[in-house]
Amino acid sequence: MDEKTLMEDLLLTVKGACDLYLHGAIESGTQNVHCAFTQGLQDTLAMQNQIYSQMSQRGWYQTTQAEQPKIDQAIQKFSMQAQQN
């Protein structure tokens, strides 16, 4: 397995862990459990960011710039929804 594939797999695994920690924090029944899941989420997000940064520096994680009209459309949509609530 090459390094790029390994890092892609690791990134997907860490993203999955972030999802689990997030839902654990949301659904926790006590403050202690909530804090434990929140700390786990923060640690895992930091790990995800490090992996992403390494992949991005090597050109293995390409992002595209959002088009301004699409940004404006999203802002308008969510502004209207916020006003309705």
pLDDT tens, position by position, 3-43: 999 999 999 999 999 999 999 999 999 999 999 999 999 99
* Cα 52 from Cα 71, distance rounded (Å): 23
* Cα 80 from Cα 45, distance rounded (Å): 31
User: Chain centroid to CA 52: how far?
Assistant: 10
The confidence score (pLDDT) of residue 82 equals 78
Q: Assess contact for 45 and 20: CB atoms under 8 A.
A: no
Q: Assess contact for 61 and 14: CB atoms under 8 A.
A: no
The confidence score (pLDDT) of residue 77 equals 87
- Give the pTM: 0.76
- Residue 67 is which amino acid? E
- Domain ranges for the chain, please list them: 3-62
